[in-house]
């Protein structure tokens, strides 16, 4: 019986938290939308798969060395970290102190956790090398720029106004996030609200880059929110179009734009 109990306690499901369970369901939903419904599979498939890997109980694939130490709940090790941060030796107090600490101090605590025998997970290493350094968003920008056809924009420059409209979405989202503070629903700092606001511009790489700089703790949530709602545009857009336009307006056939030469695109 003791062996069976030890086996059960060693299973990851016995250590599954509520937050992990919710994120696993969200990840499975994203995978289903990508595979079964073909909604932006290039975006939602890796996001869903990464969410599954990050939330496997006790795997710690997305945890840094310091986060692994805090998850281990070793009283002696927590006391050492707390002494360095001048706070109480409990996980909640240490996390609050780390949130207020300078990046140099956070780096020292990470190195101390490594010295105690903890190692970062593979996804944490990938985040540090690709996202934390800012390399991955820049590579995405280059790829998007290389794939973008600016011919329609050059043929009809008035469509620049559509791009400018995204700025209203950014400011509206920032103000909306800060308004939640006023009502006491959720508390966001100004950098967090600014990172969330980029979602309103419907620009995934920019949202990832700025959230990594302004609010790294919200990077995962912002990335999932930005790319999932962009992928669901085919579902979100039709009812809005029907509500704001008449049937006659929807039947208007757009004229073919003029052909833009390669020389004009280069210039």
Q: Tokens standing for 84?
A: 């360095």
pLDDT, tens digit, for every residue of 21-78? 888 898 898 899 889 988 878 888 888 888 888 888 877 788 888 888 888 878 888 8
Half-sphere exposure in the Cβ direction for 6 (13 Å, CA): 3
pLDDT, tens digit, for every residue of 184-199? 778 888 888 888 888 8
Q: Which residues of 6-15 are buried (b: 16+ CB within 10 A; e: fewer)?
A: eeeeeeeeee
pLDDT, tens digit, for every residue of 91-102? 888 888 888 888
Mean pLDDT of the chain: 82
Question: What pLDDT score was predicted for residue 7?
Answer: 58
Instruction: Give me the residue label for tokens 């929110």.
Output: 225
Residue 193 CB: number of other CB atoms within 10 A? 20
Q: Which residues of 142-176 are buried (b: 16+ CB within 10 A; e: fewer)?
A: eeeeeeeeebebbeeeeeeeeeeeeeebbeebbee
**In this structure, what DSSP letter does residue 73 have?**
T
The predicted model scores a pTM of 0.72
pLDDT, tens digit, for every residue of 119-175? 888 888 888 888 777 788 788 778 877 777 777 778 888 877 877 777 888 888 888
On whether the CB atoms of residues 173 and 199 are closer than 8 A, the answer is yes
pLDDT, tens digit, for every residue of 200-231? 776 777 888 888 888 888 888 888 888 777 77
pLDDT bin (cut points 50, 70, 90) of residue 12 is low
Question: What pLDDT score was predicted for residue 6?
Answer: 62
Checking if the pLDDT of 108 tops 80, the result is yes
Question: What pLDDT score was predicted for residue 28?
Answer: 92
Question: What pLDDT score was predicted for residue 9?
Answer: 59
Collapsing DSSP to helix, strand or coil, 1 comes out as coil
Q: How far apart are CA 255 and CA 45, in angstroms?
A: 36
> H-type helices in the chain, by residue range?
2-10, 18-35, 41-54, 65-72, 75-85, 91-100, 103-115, 122-126, 135-147, 151-155, 160-183, 190-197, 204-214, 219-231, 233-244, 247-250, 262-266
Q: How far apart are CA 116 and CA 132, in angstroms?
A: 24
Element (H, E) at 121: none
């Amino acid at each position: 019986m003791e062996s069976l109990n030890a086996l059960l306690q060693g299973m990851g499901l016995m250590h599954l938290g509520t937050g992990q369970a919710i994120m696993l369901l969200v990840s499975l939903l994203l995978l289903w939308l990508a595979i079964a419904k073909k909604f932006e599979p290039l975006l939602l498939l890796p996001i869903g798969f990464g969410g599954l890997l990050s939330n496997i109980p006790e795997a710690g694939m997305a945890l840094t060395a310091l986060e692994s130490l805090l998850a281990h709940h070793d009283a002696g090790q927590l006391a050492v970290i707390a002494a360095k941060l001048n706070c109480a030796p409990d996980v909640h107090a240490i996390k609050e102190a780390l949130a207020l600490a300078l990046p140099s101090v956070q780096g020292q605590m990470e190195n101390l956790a490594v010295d105690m025998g903890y190692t970062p997970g593979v996804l944490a290493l990938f985040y540090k090398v690709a996202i934390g350094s800012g390399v991955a968003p820049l590579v995405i920008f280059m790829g998007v720029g290389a794939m973008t056809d600016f011919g329609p924009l050059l043929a009809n420059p008035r469509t620049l106004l559509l791009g400018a409209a995204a700025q209203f979405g950014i400011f509206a989202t920032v103000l909306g996030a800060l308004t939640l503070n006023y009502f006491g629903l959720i508390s966001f700092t100004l950098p967090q609200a600014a990172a969330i606001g980029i979602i309103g511009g419907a620009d995934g790489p920019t949202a990832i880059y700025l959230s990594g700089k302004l609010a790294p703790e919200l990077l995962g949530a912002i990335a999932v929110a930005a790319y999932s709602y962009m992928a669901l545009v085919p579902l979100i857009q039709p009812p809005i179009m029907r509500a704001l336009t008449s049937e006659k307006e929807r039947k208007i056939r757009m004229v073919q734009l003029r052909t833009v030469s390669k020389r004009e695109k280069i210039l």
